[in-house]
Amino acid sequence: MWQLLGLILGGALLKLLLSLRKIINKRNALKKLPSPPGAHWLYGHDKQGPFDPGYKWLIDTVAAFPRVYTLWQGPVPIPVMVHPETMKPLLTGAVSNIKSEFYDLFVDWLGSGLATAEGAKWKRNRRLLTRSFHLDILRTYTPVSNDCVEVLLDKLGRSAAVGQKCDIYRYLALCTYDVILRTAYSYKSNCQVEEIGQDKGMDVLSASETMMWFVQERMFRNRLLINPWIFRLSSNYAKYESACQYLHKFSQNLIQERRKEISHKVDTAEPITKPRDFLDTLIMARDEDGTRLTVKEMVDEVNTFLFAGHETTATSMTWLLYFLSKYPEHQTKIREEVDEILADRDSDRISFEDLGRFDYMTIAIKESMRMMTAGPLFIRTLAAPYTVDGFTIPKGTMVGICFHQLHHNPTVWGDDHMEYKPSRFLPQNIAKMDPFSFAPFSAGTRNCIGQQFAMNEMKIFTARILRRFRLSLVTGEPDVVPAMNLASKPMKPLYIDVEPTDRAS
């Protein structure tokens, strides 16, 4: 008995020593990489505030270390790639890597949807879902986006009439949520003008916001809660679980109702031969052998696209309207472009064919996304060693890909990278740059599947808003400061004044 206990304890001690040896070897290897000075042996760079609002540390660090550096998160070293050449092998899969453990924070909510899936499962689902973003389907979404923007314009008009300043992110978040529900799921929620049907004081938008709050809290503010056991014992866990269950139930109901509709059409000899939206694609998708997605897989993808389909677009639109309000000369150029395209029309509605004609608007949107990228940082785990600039990073190391630093890297974008200059994206200028210099939707094999959907939506929003209103920052309000969350949002509400143009109806 004592011998068996001794063997067990000896084995556990040996395993612990081997793990410690591996950790020490990894730390010693990563100490060879350049790193900002002042890292504490226990707290690392934490006390320097690397992710503090305003991102000053990030901007200063990429200027000093424009290719790769090691960020010490407490005692844990995380090499961070900030240059196209050091990122490209990770983004293209030339160096094998997988999602980091931070993505586990989304699993209860998003399951194994496209945002969290790996390997063969990700490849299979990406292939099955790509058809939802085919040109012919994107074309059908344009009228829906116009309809949703009509509601937004009416709300902005009423605010302008009484001189009320607008919390622009809140207006845009409701509108983008309306768009994704109507386009992807053909679900009319009226969320812009009235509360969605509630269950236990919760609706689909508030439940999503609750889940985002918890992920942000665990990732950036209270790292003890990353441990699932500690998190389950926390005082707010019941609220988290309730929101998660609500979203899963909502998605299941959407799927169930659509499956009934499709079955009824088949029974009445009115089969749906082509998917009409994303939900149709999920239900009708088949592998070569006829295998369908399970209900659980469909729920995971519905939740993933409800989140990804509105949050980043609302955030990107918020920053765009901020920059256009701050630098009205660019707002004027876009408005003139829109007026020219819509000249002699009876309606301000944007057609699918119009979207490719907004040349100046397009470069203004891209420059806004460079200045403030919605998804500022991604963490991956190396599945193989990676040699960068002569240093070998061991397998199993978490590495960062910081798009905010990439987009403010002075060796890539010049010393004026903090200036808003849409001319950077003129064809003759962008042709001289590495294609991986600009990656607001990530890049490589795992780029955002919905990026064209998002760009189309932003163009419709921008054209319709600027056609109807002149935008300006509210006098006396402090300048806007970005804060690191799941998306780079303004730390405080961003208020914008809207004044009707002579095109307002």
Which residues participate in the annotated binding site? 448
Reduced to 3 states, what is the DSSP secondary structure of residue 488?
Answer: coil
Q: How far apart are CA 205 and CA 189, in angstroms?
A: 10
- In angstroms, rounded to a whole number, what is the distance separating the alpha carbons of residues 230 and 232? 6
At 389 the three-state DSSP class reads coil
Q: Which helix (H) or strand (E) holds 80?
A: strand 76-81
Place of tokens 């052998």: 289
Residues 6+ apart with CB under 8 A from 199: 246, 249
470 token code pair: 């002149």
- Sorted by sequence, the CB contacts under 8 Å of residue 103 that are 6+ apart come out as 115, 116
Of 434, 112, 119, 126, nearest to 304 by C-alpha is 112
Extract the annotated binding site for heme: 448
The Cα 350–Cα 461 span in angstroms is 9
Indicate if the alpha-carbon torsion angle 50, 53, 59, 62 is positive or negative.
Answer: positive
Q: What is the distance between the alpha carbons of residues 374 and 279, in angstroms, rounded to a whole number?
A: 26
- State the number of CA atoms in the 13 A half-sphere of 125 facing the CB: 25
